[in-house]
Amino acid sequence: MASSLGAQAHAHGYGQAQAHGYGDARSARFFRNAGDLSPSSCRFRAAMATASASILASPAIPRSKPAASQISRLQTQLRKKEISAVEIVTEYLDRLREKEPDVKSFLHISSSALDEAAEIDGRLARGDDPGPLAGIPIAIKDNLCTQGMPSTGGSRILDGYRPPYDATAVKRLKESGAVLIGKTNLDEFGMGSSTESSAYQVTSNPWDLSRVPGGSSGGSAAAVAAGQCACALGSDTGGSIRQPASFCGVVGLKPTYGRVSRFGLMAYASSLDVVGCLGTSVDDVSLLLNAIAGHDPADATSSSKVVPNYLKALVPAKELPGNPLAGMKFGIIKETIGEGVEPAVAQVVKNAVVHLEKLGAVVQEVSLPTFSLGLPAYYVLAASEASSNLSRYDGIRYGPRVVADELNAMYGASRGQGFGAEVKRRILMGTYALSAGYYDAFYKRAQQVRTLIQQDFKKALEDGHILLSPVAPSPAFKIGEKVLDPLSMYLGDLMTVNVNMAGLPALSLPCGLIEDEGSKLPVGLQLIGNAFEEEELLRVGHIFEQTVPTW
Amino acid sequence: MAVGSCESIVLLYSQPRIPRSALQIRCSSSLASKQASSSSKIPSALQDFEAVIGVETHVQLGTATKAFCGCLSQYGAQPNSNVCPVCMGLPGALPVLNERVVDFAVKLGLALNCDLSLRSKFDRKQYFYADLPKGYQISQFDIPIARHGSIEVDLPVEYGGGHRKFGITRVHIEEDAGKLVHAGGGGRLSGSPYSLVTFFFSSCCFSLLVFVDLNRAGVPLLEIVSEPDMRTGIEAAEYAAEVARVVKCLGIGSGSMAEGSLRCDVNVSVRPRGQAAFGTKVEIKNMNSCAAMHRAIDFEILRQVALHKEGLESKIVQETRLWEEGSQRTVTMRAKEGLADYRYFPEPDLLELVLKQEQVDSINEALPELPNETRRRYEALGLSMQDVLVLADDKSVSEYFDSTLEQGADMKMAANWIMGDITAYLKTEKLSISDVKISPSVLAELVSLIKDGTISGKIGKEISDEAEIASLVDKVLLENPKQLEAFKKGKTKLQGFFEGQVMRSTNGRVNPILMKKVVAQKLGLS
């Protein structure tokens, strides 16, 4: 088992994983901790040493010049017939397969991507417009349902499950001409911050293969960082897009709750879940948001507010005035730059603040008194909703079923074998919190805290146009480092969960590198805006990205 | 897509067969076991004891589509043909509220004199069962759409009559679950649509195959909870009948207990007269008519009273009992192991349910006359309660009666015609009153002709007795010898003349088809 889960190349992680029986959580953990001692880990280390260099040289990582839009460049070339969709997809598929043995970001690689690309080429040849994302290879987090590909949510309980429908966000990408290149790894059902809770494989951070990519959208972030796709969809319940974006040095956008339909997103915590975008530039993230945002009659919580053209807000670097942020007020959240944050991270964020000031902005410290209440309240609410949302995985209509003598035993055995340790932990916590006699003390109180957090943000956003904080208190940590300590893993979500509690949009932007044990690791800056003001976040993020000193 | 996903849900799990005898716990009381004519024993049983009865009614709504998805909400379709990702509980699927359900709930809430909640919400009621695809039922918990209402009934005259008003605690919206179909013997369902199943499990020889049909999953329901205001089986049965009348009158559902579109669960407890505290309540399910409800409750009251009388009231436990129509008794289904914890919490996938006052007002203005209003109106007209109950039982009958009156018919005579000959005709022909060819205006004319003596009541009725017709034809032939002679010589057109004469001799009351047949016979034509 260790060898197949180890560093050996397997392009079809999915098929490989299916070949195993149910993994015992302890043995999986054993592998992660003891991995350095196993024979396969020698190859793993060797791969790390060489792969690190090659991956960092990838054109997908903005290092020596400001991030440029891959999508815009490819669209221009495609329309000028300098390149075909098949060539674009071939290039990405080649890189995907080349990097996959090291990064292991994909659970499934599309077998029809080239056919779809050929179809796009055919439409272009006929003079059709296949859409603004024509021929762009996009990776999809595996908790989003895709009709043509398996969708497991990273869980054994959906092993082999093929949905009969596309998630709305996925459908909209297809309608925009995108080519879905594969399904990316994640923490099981989005529950985790390192992608180590996937039932199938451990994804590595392309910046340092011994480290986690973050999570739960770790597969999507790593795939974008490694150039395995042009951009990717993720989902964010408590930081699951922003934190891996920060760890992998890519741009991640968590839209306002309700901006993007959740239909087809496997629910973790319905009142917090948002589908969002990961890319190498603000341009690309804006293009992606253009495609997926908007009201969906199939999601009662999706907003019918008009969707602007997010690209229109972006001003090219050479057209920017001298002080492009003059007159803008920012607030840096005091509670996020003090205790509990690694000094090096705080320093990079402070440098970013200085840069914003150079661009003409006024940056003030603001305090959100309820900030520290967010994390425990989040874990009560998210676990409560999860305990309910995951009830449908009962082995009856889909997914593996364990034969038993009666119904309850069948439930117990199917769910016992189908769910991993972290998911079980959250189901238990949530079931407890919703139980008669505990509801008021936990769920109801957490909802009250949520209201306070919303009020605090509202007040803070009245004073400042945009709030700032680090995305995470640390850079990417080592694989296995926090697996045995769930609480320390939860603490890493400190900076991000409150944004979900308030339903606000937030952008995670690479803002610098720090050195940690010989590795250069990216750090992300979080920009938090008013509800439905993604446009403003993207505009400011784009200015920042175009003007920030290169690394 | 529906077809493609069918196979994945028609599933099987194994379940041990429970010996039938274990389900049947015999009633220890000698009085209750002699239940054959339980109703007659009720008055004496209730001399020293009082029964307290409350009813929970599930009304299936007649919307075209389900409560939270676009699937058809229809009966009798192929199993698992009216299903989609939403009502199958597939990963990622989300509910969207069918607005018609809200309109129907408002109608019923208003008809039951409830206070409507202009802001209510949906909650998840959580439990695991194979017919519940999501592992929770979308329902309304602490803020139902309507509450604090009442319903008025008039008890049947043969049970002593009387007017009653029962409190309605609440009305809330929820979704139905699917249906389990148990198949024993490894193939009873082969040949049925269920046989599209391609695999099955059965772990031991005592196992059952269980199939799940999700056509009903997500069908909208309104649950009506009554106050514990009823004291006898007939009161509860009449309550259920009135709810069914209201549902049909509002056009929000078929309100049929026989079809299962109106289902009542009854809570019964008994206490010594004068005691304020309620006795231990027992829930009874599985009654498919008001008559069955009446009998089931009376049986249960007698059972409990007998236990009280024998000093065995501790043997009355909080449990769910099933009414067995065959043996006319209630039997233990399951004992409640404490209170079930459904871990209700607000449904995060649906928005708060907000009613606009204008919406409520316009629904209120469009409400039809309700059964109780019709009864009060008829009572005020001077009809006897017996007549009132018959005429106001069915909206189509009362509408027919009303239009007959509008045409100027005498009330009492019109009532008698409708309750007598017309009802008898409908019964034998298995028709509804809307199928009757005599329109209210014809009936009104008939009634006035009879009333002013132009024709007698007996004449008002059609002659369809073949022997009587034969003698009428004979008489006509005898009275017209010339024409008969001409006919015999070949003037066959005269057949019509004879028919006309017979018709005339009866003032048109003879059944024309029969009469023509008899005339033809007498003329030697057939």
Residues of chain B neighbouring A431 (CB-CB closer than 8 A): 343
- CA-nearest residue of chain A to B130? A396
- To which H or E segment does residue B106 belong? helix B99-111
Res. A12 pLDDT band, cuts 50 70 90 = very low
- To which H or E segment does residue A97 belong? helix A85-103
Do A63 and A230 form a contact (C-beta atoms < 8 A)? no
Tell whether B525 is within 8 A of chain A (Cβ). Answer: no
Contact B92 A397 (CB under 8 A): no
Residues of chain B neighbouring A443 (CB-CB closer than 8 A): 345
Contact B92 A271 (CB under 8 A): no
Tokens of B357: 């006052």
Coil, helix or strand for A76?
helix
Question: How large is the average pLDDT for residues B126-153?
Answer: 97
* Mean pLDDT over the full length of chain A: 88
One domain for residues B453 and B474: no
Domain enclosing residue B450, as ranges: 369-461
CB-based contacts of A183, cutoff 8 Å, min separation 6: A14, A106, A107, A108, A139, A140, A141, A142, A146, A149, A150, A151, A152
The CATH number of the domain holding residue B503 is: 1.10.10.410
Hey, how many other C-beta atoms are within 10 angstroms of the C-beta on B493? Answer: 9
Asked if residue B402 is part of any domain, the answer here is yes
Main-chain phi, psi angles of A531, to 5 degrees: -55, 135
Residues of chain B neighbouring A263 (CB-CB closer than 8 A): 92-94
Contact A299 B94 (CB under 8 A): yes
Strands across the sheet with B220-226, in order?
B115-116, B146-154, B163-175, B220-226, B49-60, B262-272, B282-285, B319-324, B329-335
Tell whether A409 is within 8 A of chain B (Cβ). Answer: no
Q: Is the pLDDT of residue B189 over 80?
A: no
Q: Which of B20-34, B250-264, B325-339 ranks highest by mean pLDDT?
A: B250-264
Question: How large is the average pLDDT for residues B294-317?
Answer: 94
One domain for residues B456 and B472: no
Domain boundary among B296, B314, B346: B346
Domain boundary among B461, B492, B514: B461
One domain for residues B111 and B156: yes
Interface of B with A in 193-212 (CB under 8 A): 201, 203-204, 207, 212
Asked if residue B13 is part of any domain, the answer here is no
Tokens of B348: 């995060």
Asked if residue B324 is part of any domain, the answer here is yes
Task: Quote the pLDDT of residue A356.
Answer: 96
One domain for residues B148 and B77: yes
Tokens of B37: 């004519």
The region of weakest confidence among A171-175, A407-411, B36-40, B393-397 is B36-40
Asked if residue B285 is part of any domain, the answer here is yes
Alpha helices (H) along B329-480: 357-365, 371-381, 385-391, 395-406, 411-417, 423-429, 440-451, 466-479
Distance CA A282, CA A286 (A): 6
Distance CA A39, CA A4 (A): 12
Burial of B341 (0-12, 13-18, 19+ CB in 10 A): middle
Residue B230: beta bridge partners?
B53
One domain for residues B417 and B499: no
Q: What is the number of domains present in chain B?
A: 3
**Optimal mutation site among A183, A391, A428, A438, interface B, most CBs of chain B within 10 A:** A391
Res. A486 pLDDT band, cuts 50 70 90 = confident
Residues of chain A neighbouring B207 (CB-CB closer than 8 A): 405
Coil, helix or strand for B182?
strand
B513-522 confidence digits (pLDDT tens) = 888 889 999 8
Question: How large is the average pLDDT for residues A89-107?
Answer: 97
Contact B128 A401 (CB under 8 A): no
**Optimal mutation site among A397, A398, A401, A442, interface B, most CBs of chain B within 10 A:** A397
One domain for residues B440 and B493: no
Q: Which of B94, B97, B134 sits opposite A263 (nearest CB)?
A: B94
Task: Quote the pLDDT of residue B39.
Answer: 58
Asked if residue B64 is part of any domain, the answer here is yes
Tokens of A366: 């603001």
Tell whether B18 is within 8 A of chain A (Cβ). Answer: no
One domain for residues B260 and B321: yes
**Three-state SS across B452-464?**
CCCCCCCCCCCEC
B331-360 confidence digits (pLDDT tens) = 998 766 566 899 999 999 999 999 999 999
Contact A270 B343 (CB under 8 A): no
ipTM attached to this prediction: 0.88
Contact A391 B95 (CB under 8 A): no
Tell whether B419 is within 8 A of chain A (Cβ). Answer: no
Domain boundary among B346, B380, B406: B346
Q: Is the pLDDT of residue A158 over 70?
A: yes
Asked if residue B412 is part of any domain, the answer here is yes
One domain for residues B392 and B425: yes
One domain for residues B326 and B406: no
Distance CA A489, CA A470 (A): 16
Asked if residue B362 is part of any domain, the answer here is no
- CA-nearest residue of chain A to B70? A298
Tell whether B425 is within 8 A of chain A (Cβ). Answer: no
Do A482 and A488 form a contact (C-beta atoms < 8 A)? yes
- CA-nearest residue of chain A to B209? A406
Burial of B365 (0-12, 13-18, 19+ CB in 10 A): exposed
**Three-state SS across A468-523?**
EEECCCCCCCECCCCCCCHHHHHHCCCCCHHHHHHCCCEEEEEEEEEEECCEEEEE
Q: Is the pLDDT of residue B15 over 60?
A: no
One domain for residues B226 and B290: yes
Asked if residue B197 is part of any domain, the answer here is no
Shortest distance, CA B89 to any CA of chain A (angstroms): 7
CB-based contacts of B112, cutoff 8 Å, min separation 6: B146, B149, B150, B151, B168, B171, B224, B246
The region of weakest confidence among A112-121, B84-93, B414-423 is B414-423
**Residues of A marked as catalytic:** 141, 216, 240
Query: Which residue would you say has higher pLDDT here, A48 or B170?
Result: B170
Distance CA B111, CA B224 (A): 12
The region of weakest confidence among B132-136, B392-396, B458-462, B496-500 is B458-462
Main-chain phi, psi angles of A197, to 5 degrees: -85, 5
Distance CA A371, CA A394 (A): 37
One domain for residues B58 and B171: yes
Q: What is the DSSP string of A188-246?
A: GGG--SSSTT-SS-PPPBTTBTTB---SSTHHHHHHHHTTSSSEEEEEESSSTTHHHHH
Q: Is the pLDDT of residue A328 over 60?
A: yes
Contact B348 A270 (CB under 8 A): yes
Task: Quote the pLDDT of residue B218.
Answer: 97
Q: Which of B85, B203, B204 sits opposite A164 (nearest CB)?
A: B85
The region of weakest confidence among B173-177, B209-213, B229-233, B446-450 is B446-450
Residue A418: beta bridge partners?
none
Question: How large is the average pLDDT for residues A71-82?
Answer: 95
One domain for residues B470 and B454: no
Distance CA A189, CA A494 (A): 20
User: What's the CA dihedral at B399, B405, B407, B412 to 10 degrees?
Assistant: 130
Distance CA A328, CA A317 (A): 18
CB-based contacts of A105, cutoff 8 Å, min separation 6: A99, A139, A184, A185, A203, A213, A218, A219, A220, A222, A223, A226, A228
Q: Which of A164, A411, A434 sits opposite B128 (nearest CB)?
A: A411
